[in-house]
Amino acid sequence: MLMRTALIRTALIRTALAGAFLAPGAAFACGGLFCNTSRPVNQAAERILFAHDGDTLHMHVRITYQGPPAEFGWLLPTPPDVQVELSSEQLFVDLDRQFAPRFVLRTEVDPDCAQRAFGGEGEGEGEGEGEGEGPAVNVLSREPVGPFDIAVLQPDTVEDLRAWLDANGYEIPAQTDGTLQPYLELGAVFVAVRLLPDQDAGDISPLRLSFGSARPAIPIVPTSVAAEPDMGIIVHVLGPDRAIPLNYRHVVINEAAIDWQNNGQNYADVVSQAADEANGQAFATDFAGPHDSRVGPPVFNETVLTGITNARDARALLAVFPFGIDADVQRVLLSELHGPPGFDPLLFLQCPWCFDDDEVAAIEYDAAAIAERVETEINGARRHLQAMFEANRYLTRLYSTLSAAEMTLDPEFEFNADLGVVPNQRTAVRRVACDDGDPDFDRATIETPSGLRYRLVDGRNPHLIQRQSGETVRGEDVPGARIVERTFAIGQSEVEQNRTDEIERLLDPTDGDASGCGCAMIERDPPGLAFWGLLLAMGLGRRMRRA
């Protein structure tokens, strides 16, 4: 019998956690854990990386598509000298992991509160604790890693772990609870994994388009014919300095509208609201600063290429890759591995040890073809990326959302050496006071990095913004933008709206007398200068032609 039943196969994958401690090689798409792909992914963000090489602009685009392959279509206006090559899916996984915004909630508890609430040691400042979970689960970290929302958890009991998983939307099968106690007794922590809302399982490869252009620009107008409401756009720009939107507004979000207790999961909604307040066309800066030149996926050397051709079977083939089966390697192997009827190559990549030796022997592949594709398709793109990151040591990540009616102007970007860095990690502080000697989490005060303070109501942020289908469904009266401004290639930004006072009144309408919040005032951002003559001068630069 070459193939086990689906039920047995699933059971093997779900018990692969123990084998993962001993198995060679790196983790796969599911890490040997509990994948749940039954829910369709409806929201996605278009991802782009711009980098100049002399007069040539390279535009790496991650294409997002859902639907039958026969119905796929993609149109992008470019200059006539365009050259098109494959790019790297792993590139965008790495960019998300390293530069996506992270919202961390640090807890400070009144030292007079009962220590028993924190395991008797006064600890309990676990970052990124999900809303509603008890202090018996210490959240060591929770952050996006590639397409996943990953939390590292340290529970007191399996029951506490189960309660946290259920409360935070991790669909881990309940029947696995009985297998976890031995690991808990050994002092293990638990890595919980789920897909981020904007991820899909498509295997369409990103592309690199290279052409002569003086300025990065996104031909967004043609996208309006098939755009979903609040379509996300993530733009990475490599260059000498911080990149700014030239013909779109720039927004600084109202951090009090962020869901800090759930790691800022509504960040896209807040940015969407902020952009709407800037006439629908604005970007927020997720990150801006010098980067490590080692950003981006590594090139596979001759040892790996030789190992591919010499691998004795498909399982040994996977072990050849020193960094695991990343997104680019997976794309190649999914099309090169063939087995008997019913063989699922993705399942094999996720859990090769779930197949017995006879099943592995039945998997056919052309080792020489795989080695050639790794060299030409993967290494070629990665060598180019390494050169781009080495030559351009400053990275800016900008984010916006656009609906079809807002896609009337192609956004263009420039560099500004006068603007400061923007870290991608934002840390808020939850200050918990005592109620009869016990910590009162339900009425804690949260202070955002910008100094805004608000009081929780029944353990929840009453000022959250949430959107659906391009419309705000919660927090309609809450500003999404604290500041709306124009950015220029030289000098500081020109502030057009500063809604700090309005936000502070919303957070503490009684000036702190009733709420006891004691909300702090924020230092006002000084107004910038309008460089209209400079804008005209910059318009003389050669722009990207559009079809």
DSSP secondary structure string for all residues of 219-288: --GGGGGGPPTTEEEEEEEEESSEEEESSSEEEEE-GGGS-GGGTTTTHHHHHHHHHHTTTT-EEEEEEE
CA 275 remoteness from chain centre: 19
Q: Are residues 399 and 507 in the same domain?
A: yes
Compute the distance between CA of residue 85 and CA of residue 533 in angstroms, rounded to an integer: 39
| Final residue before a domain boundary, out of 195, 219, 241 | 195
pLDDT of 17: 27
Q: Are residues 426 and 516 in the same domain?
A: yes
Q: Does residue 495 share a domain with residue 381?
A: no
Residue 287 lies in a domain: yes
Q: Is residue 335 part of a domain?
A: yes
Type of residue numbered 369: A
Give the total residue count for the chain.
Answer: 547
Q: Does residue 522 form part of some domain?
A: yes
101: tokens are 């915004």
For residue 1, tell me if it sits in a domain.
no
- What does the pLDDT profile of the chain (547 residues) look like in tens digits? 333 333 333 332 222 322 222 222 222 222 222 223 322 222 357 899 999 999 999 999 886 656 554 454 555 667 778 788 889 999 999 999 899 999 999 888 887 764 433 333 333 333 434 443 343 778 776 765 433 466 777 778 777 877 877 887 766 656 556 656 765 675 766 767 665 555 443 446 788 889 888 899 998 887 776 678 999 999 999 999 999 999 999 999 999 999 999 899 999 999 999 999 999 999 999 999 999 767 789 999 999 999 999 999 999 999 999 888 999 999 899 989 999 999 999 999 999 999 999 999 999 999 999 999 999 989 999 999 999 999 999 999 999 999 989 998 999 999 999 999 999 999 999 998 887 777 888 889 999 999 999 999 998 999 999 999 899 999 999 999 999 999 999 999 999 999 999 999 999 755 443 343 444 444 434 333 332 232 222 332 333 333 3
Whether the CA torsion 152, 158, 159, 162 is positive or negative: it is positive
Residue 255's nearest CA partner among 425, 132, 510, 395 is 425
Structural domain includes residue 547: no
Last residue of a domain, one of 390, 415, 431: 390
Confirm whether 104 is domain-assigned.
no
- 84 lies in the same domain as 221: yes
* Stated pTM of the model: 0.71
Both 28 and 55 in a single domain?
no
Same domain for 407 and 515: yes
- For residue 505, the one-letter residue type is R
386 and 397 co-located in one domain: no
> How far is it, in rounded angstroms, from Cα 391 to Cα 395?
11
Q: Can you give the residue range of the structural domain that contains 57?
A: 45-99+201-291+393-538
How many domains does the chain divide into?
3
The verdict on 119 and 191 lying in the same domain is yes
The answer to whether residues 80 and 205 belong to one domain is yes
Regarding whether 280 and 258 lie in a shared domain, the answer is yes
- If asked whether residues 232 and 333 sit together in one domain, one would say no
Q: How far apart are CA 93 and CA 62, in angstroms?
A: 10
Residues 420 and 486 in one domain: yes
* Neighbouring C-beta atoms of residue 423, cutoff 10 Å: 13
Using CA atoms, how far apart are residues 543 and 246, in angstroms rounded to an integer?
Answer: 12
Q: Are 473 and 467 in contact (CB under 8 A)?
A: yes
- Note whether residue 473 is domain-resident: yes
